[in-house]
């Protein structure tokens, strides 16, 4: 369905990343040379196809895209002021795809921007993690050094920002700009690690830190505080609603007391003392949202906005309709429908992003570098990271397992990595992580219920199953 667009993705991005400096040109394009999964562009393009035509202003957008072909590549400021030389710029403008009846050029460009932001984060991550492999090849830092890798990531973000501005949609710019901030925040959270229960200065108690961490997490997830706190206080809260607290579902969704067919949260399971705190669970999920789910959720939402479901565009058009024979009720109905569509796109992407990262964290305990295309087989432990499998094993085995001490010292003690691997693999932690990923994938599917049937919608549903099938 989107094979043509994905096939041209790498060449289109390469043209966007052209630089007059040969070294920068080479390293900026380095990670685009290997075949990747391109999950993020897939989601953008499929969401666009699933929702295009649902906005009342779709006909106008389609007409404008045909009459103003190439506008998404045209500079806003004079070139002599921008001083941004790209040797491929003219070639790129000559190869802009003709608008189709179900996909706009701006949405194709959004898919490219999304991949550019993602690859920029990979360049930075590989420096921080001292990674030697990426996509079954030597990593950029291993090939070019840390300094050039960091600069190349910055260059990608700069070019992505230019392309983003030329979409000429403030709502989309705001969404993707906050993604870049989220990626940095998530990386800092990962570097610093979750505060221990005894941390804090004399002016701030551990309880204050717990509350702030939970509040920040729930705010990032766009969940009302009163709803979150009530969910946290009840271990039998429902895990099927897309509005349920992700932290609540993480703490109560217990595969030890549920079957794969019901996958209902446990209300009576008890665990040994000395396990992880709520703050440590919240820290992991918040970091996962910021580093992975934010980009997927917000870019999916942006695709619907470019398709005519944005707040400003809909308000302007429906405001005009109020001067016609259209009733106020019909106008409000149109606004509500567009809100439903863009919210559905965000929740789909956010939940699928959470599932995707959970699967990645699980596979780190099941695979080798050759199978995964990057350092694996406990690579997260070697970086000092306590991911979902570790937290679940720690919760199941309690403080006597020693996992809490290993987490506190970031697995830097003699034999810590090997022991933690063994504890995780000899507990129910991997199964519980797998079921939690399935739980988020199901929430992603539920979010699509507001969309009408289409091949693109079915492809989005299939994608949720492909993401979780990597665990099997």
CATH number assigned to the domain comprising residue 320 = 1.10.600.10
Confidence at residue 322, expressed as pLDDT on a 0 to 100 scale: 59
pLDDT value for 8? 85
Distance CA 385, CA 252 (A): 22
pLDDT given at position 57: 86
pLDDT at 240: 35
The shares of helix, strand and coil residues in the chain, as percent rounded to the nearest 5, are 65, 0, 30
Number of domains in the chain: 1
Do 294 and 187 touch, CB atoms closer than 8 A?
A: no
Highest mean pLDDT among 30-39, 262-271, 442-451: 442-451
Average pLDDT over residues 118-130: 96
Q: Does the pLDDT value for residue 318 go beyond 50? A: yes
| Among the listed residues 311, 293, 263, the one whose alpha carbon sits nearest the alpha carbon of residue 358 | 293
Query: What's the pLDDT tens digit per position in 55-65?
Result: 988 888 888 88
Residue 379 in domain: no
| Residue 133, SS3 per DSSP | strand
Of the two residues 234 and 172, the one the predictor is more confident about is 172
255: pLDDT strictly greater than 80:
no
pLDDT on residue 144: 96
Q: What angle do CA 148, 150, 152 make, to 5 degrees?
A: 65
For CA atoms 112, 114, 120, 126, the dihedral sign is negative
The token pair at 427 is 């507990």
Q: What is the mean pLDDT of residues 422-438?
A: 93
314 inside domain: yes
Report which DSSP code applies to 463. H
Closest CA to 175 of 9, 297, 321: 297
Q: Is residue 259 part of a domain?
A: no
pLDDT, mean of residues 145-152:
97
Domain that holds residue 68: 3-195+283-370+434-469
The answer to whether position 232 is within a domain reads no
Is 28 within the bounds of a domain?
A: yes
Whole-number average pLDDT of the chain = 81
Mean pLDDT is highest, among 28-37, 69-78, 234-243, for 28-37
Q: How confident is the model at residue 199 (pLDDT cuts 50, 70, 90)?
A: very low
305 within some domain? yes
**pTM of the complete model:** 0.84
Using pLDDT thresholds of 50, 70 and 90, give the confidence band for residue 6: confident
Residue 170 domain flag: yes
pLDDT of residue 368: 58
Q: Could you give the CA distance from residue 103 to residue 456 in angstroms, rounded to a whole number?
A: 12
- Between helices 278-288 and 388-397, what is the axis angle to 10°? 170
Identify which has the larger pLDDT, 2 or 227.
Answer: 2
CA-angle at 311, arms to 172 and 62, nearest 5°? 75
Asked if residue 424 belongs to a domain, the reply is no
């Amino acid at each position: 369905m989107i094979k043509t667009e994905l096939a041209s993705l790498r060449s289109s991005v390469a043209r966007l990343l052209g630089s007059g400096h040969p070294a920068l040109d080479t390293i900026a394009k380095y990670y685009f040379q290997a075949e990747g999964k391109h999950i993020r562009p897939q989601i953008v393009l499929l969401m666009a196809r699933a929702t295009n035509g649902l906005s009342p202003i779709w006909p106008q957008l389609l007409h404008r895209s045909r009459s103003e072909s190439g506008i998404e590549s045209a500079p806003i400021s004079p070139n002599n002021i921008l001083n941004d030389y790209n040797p491929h710029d003219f070639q790129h403008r000559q190869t802009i795809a003709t608008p189709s009846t179900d996909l706009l050029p701006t949405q194709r460009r959004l898919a490219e921007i999304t991949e550019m932001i993602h690859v920029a984060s990979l360049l930075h991550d590989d420096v921080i993690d001292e990674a030697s492999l990426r996509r079954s090849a030597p990593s950029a830092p291993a090939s070019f050094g840390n300094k050039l890798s960091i600069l190349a990531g910055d260059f990608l973000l700069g070019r992505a920002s230019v392309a983003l501005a030329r979409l000429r949609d403030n709502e989309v710019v705001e969404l993707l700009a906050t993604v870049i901030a989220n990626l940095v925040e998530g990386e800092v959270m990962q570097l610093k690690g979750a505060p221990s229960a005894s941390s804090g200065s004399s002016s701030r108690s551990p309880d204050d830190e717990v509350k702030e961490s939970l509040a920040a997490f729930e705010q990032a997830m766009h969940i009302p505080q009163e709803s979150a706190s009530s969910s946290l206080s009840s271990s039998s809260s429902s895990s099927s609603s897309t509005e349920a607290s992700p932290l609540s579902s993480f703490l109560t969704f217990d595969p030890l007391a549920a079957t794969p067919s019901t996958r209902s949260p446990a209300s009576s399971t008890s665990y040994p003392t000395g396990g992880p705190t709520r703050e440590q669970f919240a820290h992991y999920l918040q970091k996962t949202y910021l580093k992975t789910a934010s980009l997927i959720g917000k870019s999916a939402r942006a695709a619907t906005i470019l398709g005519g479901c944005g707040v400003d565009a809909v308000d302007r058009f429906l405001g005009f309709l109020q001067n016609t024979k259209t009733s106020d009720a019909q106008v409000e109905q149109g606004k509500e429908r567009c809100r439903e569509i863009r919210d559905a796109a965000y929740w789909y992407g956010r939940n699928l992003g959470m599932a995707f990262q959970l699967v990645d964290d699980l596979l780190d305990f099941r695979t080798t570098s050759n199978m995964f295309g990057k350092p694996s087989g406990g690579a997260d432990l070697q970086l000092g990271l306590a991911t979902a499998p570790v937290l679940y094993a720690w919760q199941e085995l309690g403080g006597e397992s020693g996992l809490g001490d290993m987490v506190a010292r970031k697995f830097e003690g003699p034999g810590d990595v090997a022991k933690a691997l063994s504890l995780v693999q000899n507990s129910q932690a991997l199964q519980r992580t797998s079921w939690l990923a399935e739980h988020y994938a199901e929430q992603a599917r539920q979010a699509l219920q507001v969309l009408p049937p289409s091949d693109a919608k079915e492809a989005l549903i299939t994608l949720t199953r492909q993401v979780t099938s990597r665990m099997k």
